[in-house]
Amino acid sequence: MTLHKEGYKIVAGSLIGAGVLLWLNHHFLAAYPLAYYPLALGILVMLYLVIQFFRLPSRKNTSTGGQLVAPCDGKVVVIEEVEEPEYFKGKRLQVSIFMSPLNVHCNWVPCEGSVSYVKYHPGKYLVAWHPKSSTENERSTIVFKGTNGKEVLVRQVAGAVARRIIFYMKENMAVKKNDELGFIRFGSRVDLYFPLDTKIIAKIGDVTKGNETVIAEW
């Protein structure tokens, strides 16, 4: 377990801020234990939550053949056939994974291959489970072409708390197992759009581990 690079500055700032607050708390409230100890505990808990949010566990993609892995930690909340209007402009199978603030928020590529399409969309910050969050929230759209020529669209969607979508993908770049796709800060969801003939292995309510859980086969 390590600290993700996206958290270096935020964690450093949080450590400094927590140190200052703990010093002030000790300086002014040490004589008042009913206030001193709860406040000190609250500061340490908040610092812990910030640090754990940016944790980066050691994960290894062991998928084989046409298996596709979950790009993120979270809970499967949607599996349905929908119209995908941005890139495919046709019917696709959508699988959506909701990420809580307690999940690991690093995102990984779902398969080996190359990147066909990348686009960033500024937008709103509706709650991640809102029906319009996939089309109106801040989001990125990234399409991966597998080694078999089939394509899967991955959409990082910001939530009510998330305020920054981060992605490392560029069009035409090659990707391989265990590559990081990007990062979403503080709660969000990831939508995947598969060809209609894809076998969806995930089920509603399943808890996924990014870069480990196999969610589909094509």
Average pLDDT over residues 103-111: 93
Report the mean per-residue pLDDT for the chain: 90
Kindly report the number of other CB atoms within 10 A of residue 199's CB atom: 12
Looking at the structure, do residues 101 and 22 belong to the same domain, yes or no? no
Structure-token match 């029906």, residue found: 131
| pLDDT value for 30 | 92
| Annotation says 14 is catalytic | no
* Tokens, residue 128: 């991640």
Query: Does one domain contain both 35 and 106?
Result: no
pLDDT tens-digit map of 123-153? 665 655 555 556 667 889 999 999 999 999 9
Structural domain includes residue 205: yes
- On whether residue 79 sits in a domain, the answer given is yes
Q: Tell me which of 14, 37, 56 is where a domain ends.
A: 56
DSSP the chain: -EE-GGGHHHHHHHHHHHHHHHHHHHHHHTT-HHHHHHHHHHHHHHHHHHHHHTEE--------TTEEE-SSSEEEEEEEEEEETTTT-EEEEEEEEEE-TTS--EEE-SSSEEEEEEEEE--B---TTSTTHHHHBSEEEEEEEETTS-EEEEEEEE-SS---EEE---TT-EE-TT-EEEEESSSEEEEEEE-TT-EE---TT-EE-TTT-EEEE-
The answer as to whether 38 is a domain residue is: yes
Annotated catalytic residue: which of 14, 96, 134, 188?
188
Is pLDDT at 85 greater than 70 in this prediction? yes
The owner of tokens 């450590």 is 15
Q: Give the lowest-confidence range in 22-26, 47-51, 70-74, 88-92.
A: 47-51
Q: Structure tokens of 140?
A: 């990125």
Q: Note the pLDDT tens digit of each residue in 28-49.
A: 999 999 999 999 999 999 999 8
- Tell me: do 39 and 135 sit in the same domain: no
Enclosing domain of residue 120: 67-217
Residue 149 lies in a domain: yes
> Do strands 151-158 and 139-146 pair parallel, antiparallel, or not at all (unpaired)?
antiparallel
